[in-house]
Chain A
Amino acid sequence: MTLGFAEPWALLLIALAVLPWLKSGQRALAYSSLALIPADPLSVLLDRLLRLAGAAALLCLALAIAGPYLREQWVERIGTGAHIVLLLDRSSSMNENFTGKYLGARPHESKSAVARKLLSEFVARREHDLFAMVDFSAAPIYVLPLTQDRQAVQAAIAAAGGRGHGVTHIAPGLAMALDFFTGRPLTGSRIILLVSDGAARIDDETRDRLRQWFQETQSSLYWIYLRNPRGGRLSEKPANPNESTTPEYFLHQYFQTLGVPYRAFEADNPEAMQGAIAEVERLENLPLRYLEKLPRREMSTWCYGVALFFLLPLIAAKAMEVNSWAR
């Protein structure tokens, strides 16, 4: 039952809807004899319609007084146009190439350069989406709010090309990325595209807070993990699990407990990274089905409107009344 009433007692007033059938509501003129009046089907029809309109108006008014409302409900929506926050690691390790070498790697082969190039292509292909960008290393850097301005986004990606430095500190970056979504209506899928080559330990309190924010904003998380060939895989339990030596594994475990869609892609060379981005693209091309909670909707305005609709002919009839024979 999705219909509720604010004042259910007023439903008793519906009984008043029989009144028009009992009384005509017009002062009657004495006529000498009804038997002499010629039959007039139009008058009979009009009389019935007026009585019906009166009854319907009373019914609607009684309903309106009772204050009907549709209860809050979840509806399935299909969203198009994702909101994507690019969360780009700018720690010093991103300057390395995929072999882990820092020195000797050509500038366009560094992880950072490959990531930027692919992201830039990704952005160029996604026409309907909104992009925001946050860089992070030791601390998050607010780059660009959610925008459709492609030039700005491309410029922001290009601007991440500077030399990376500092360590990977992932939690504040995620917090800032999530902050773009809070307080905005959910009109499409929300994606945080995390591009990083490492992880760090997140303390329990921050974990809980992040989990809560992820659930509140219903954002999904894609983690493109630029893996060092010597680094551990996300899915394999390391030989000696320790949060300070293999934080990636623990972060992956934690992300799986977020309660929102999460995928991790490991990329240990530029081709794999390209594949990962293509995979993200494919996933997010699917129309987003999500449940939206609708607040309860007041229906009495409609009832008053319908009552007005029925009252108008009655008002017109009242204006057309003739209450005396003399002209």
Chain B
Amino acid sequence: MTPEFHYSVGWRASGAHPGTHRSGHLGSGHEFAGQVPFIANPDPRHLDLRASLHDPYGQLMVRSFRQRSAIPVFVVADLSASMGFRGMADKLENLARFTASAAYSAYRTGDPFGFVGCDEGIRSDLLLPLRLHKSAAPDLYERLRGLSPAGRSAEALCQAAPHLGRQRALVFLVSDFHFPLDRLDTLLSSLTRHDVVPVVLWDSAEYERLPPRGLTCVEDPETGERRRLFMRPSLREKFRTAFEQRRTALIHLCIQRGREPFFVIDRFDAEALTRYFYQT
């Protein structure tokens, strides 16, 4: 059962395709936009007698409404090797669950959905163009969780913008954000046209549920670099502090660029995402 979340945006959709989000288009809806002459909007169902009588030229006036439109929803996913981390949970599994949930939720909301996967380049085999997809969720879920990420970086995230179209869209930027903050800044700049929700996939095994003591050898899957670590409580504390600082820095940067990031730690919780959208 694919979990579903509800999302809302604070801006007016520019698309004409009817949907559930507030839009700037006049059409059939419940949001009163003003009175216009009957000639401009010849719909006798919305004839406003009171306004017609008030009109000094005796024109027939009709009420106009703003319609509700669909917005494009994108998931731009980091598929670099670091996303293959398995700690308390499989990061890729979480990514797949989130993507499926987003696709399903977009479908249920009536919004078109697209998927862009990036590692060193755009993963054209996983590219899903913007459509009203009915079966994208299970399909993406299966394909993403079966993936073995080997990309040496997530450079292509910055090249994702052309795939997102000109229309303002809701973009879920899913990554572990383990890249330098100035690159994140560049990335967010390239996506200023859109409403970007950074979804931070972390695992508590990365910084909290570390082995209490012992010798470990860790390897960076992207650079292949190895480092031996002598795990002990004080080092664990250092990890925790480092990640806490990272979290603060990420939140700070993302708020500057629009939205607070949404943290998925160990398990994707669709209801938490719904709360995220309605509390702000």
Interface residues of A in 8-45 (CB under 8 A from B): 24, 26-38, 40, 42-43
Cross-chain contact B205 with A46 (CB below 8 angstroms): no
Interface presence of B219 (CB below 8 A):
yes
Q: B222-236: contact bitstring with A at CB < 8 Å (1 yes, 0 no)?
A: 110111111100010
**Given the known A-B contacts A34-B220, A37-B229, A38-B239, are A322 and B215 also in contact in the complex, defined by CB atoms under 8 Å?**
yes
Interface flag for B217 (CB, 8 Å): yes
One of B84, B85, B209, B218 near A37 (C-beta < 8 A): B218
Measured CB to CB, the closest approach of chain A to B165, in angstroms, equals 31
Q: CA A47 – CA B221 in complex, angstroms?
A: 20
For the complex, would chain B's binding face be called helix, strand, loop or mixed by DSSP majority? mixed
- Chain A interface residue count, Cβ-Cβ cutoff 8 angstroms: 28
CB distance from B214 to the nearest CB of A (A): 4
A50→B219 contact, CB < 8 A = no
Nearest residue, chain B, Cβ from A323: B216
B220 x A33 contact (CB < 8 A): yes
Interface residues of B in 83-124 (CB under 8 A from A): 83-88, 91
Residues of B within 8 A of A50 (CB): 228
Q: When the two chains form the complex, which single residue of A30, A36, A40, A325 contacts B235, counting CB atoms closer than 8 Å?
A: A40
Given the known A-B contacts A40-B235, A40-B238, A43-B235, are A30 and B209 also in contact in the complex, defined by CB atoms under 8 Å? no
Chain A residue contacts of B205, Cβ below 8 A: 325-326
Determine if B230 and A43 form an interchain contact, defined as CB atoms under 8 angstroms apart: yes
Q: How near does chain B come to A50, taking the closest CB pair, in angstroms?
A: 7
- Which residue, A27, A33, A40, has most C-beta atoms of chain B within 10 A? A33
Q: Is the CB of B230 within 8 A of A46?
A: yes
Q: Is B178 an interface residue (CB 8 A)?
A: yes
Alpha-carbon distance between A116 and B215 when the two chains are bound, in angstroms? 81
Q: Which residue of A lies closest to B227 (CB)?
A: A34
Q: Nearest-CB distance from B90 to chain A (Å)?
A: 12
- Please state if B217 and A30 are interface contacts (CB–CB under 8 Å): no
Q: How far is the CA of A325 from the CA of B179 in the complex (A)?
A: 22
Which segment, of B13-21, B241-249, B268-276, faces chain A? B241-249
Q: A322-B215, A322-B216, A325-B205 are in contact. Are A37 and B87 (CB under 8 A)?
A: no
B89 CB, min distance to chain A CBs, angstroms: 10
Contact A321 B176 (CB under 8 A): no
Q: Is B69 an interface residue (CB 8 A)?
A: no
Point out the residues of chain A lying under 8 angstroms from B266, CB to CB.
none
Report the nearest A residue to B216, measured CB to CB.
Answer: A322
Interface status of A239 (Cβ within 8 A of chain B)? no
Main secondary structure of the interface of A (DSSP, over half): loop
Minimum CB–CB distance from B116 to chain A (whole Å) comes to: 21
What distance in Å separates the Cβ of B91 from its nearest Cβ neighbour in chain A? 8
Q: How far is the CA of A43 from the CA of B238 in the complex (A)?
A: 13
- Minimum CB distance partner of B241 in chain A: A38
Verify if B211 is at the interface (C-beta below 8 Å from A).
yes
* A27-B179 Cα distance, complex, nearest whole Å: 25
Complex contacts, B67 vs chain A, CB 8 Å: none
Given the known interface contacts A27-B217, A38-B242, A325-B211, the answer about A43 and B228 at a Cβ–Cβ threshold of 8 Å is yes
A320 CB-CB contact with B under 8 Å: yes
> B222 contacts A321, CB within 8 Å?
no
Which residue in A26, A38, A47, A327 is a CB contact (below 8 Å) of B238?
A38
Q: List 24 A-B contacts (CB under 8 A).
A: A27-B217, A28-B217, A28-B219, A30-B84, A31-B85, A31-B218, A31-B220, A32-B176, A32-B178, A33-B176, A35-B220, A36-B243, A36-B246, A37-B227, A37-B229, A37-B242, A38-B239, A40-B238, A43-B227, A50-B228, A317-B215, A325-B88, A326-B87, A327-B209
Interface residues of B (CB under 8 A from A): 82-88, 91, 176, 178-180, 203, 205-206, 209-211, 213-223, 225-231, 235, 238-239, 241-243, 246
Apart from A34-B220, A37-B218, A325-B211, list 7 A-B contacts with CB within 8 A. Answer: A26-B215, A33-B176, A35-B180, A35-B220, A37-B229, A325-B205, A325-B210
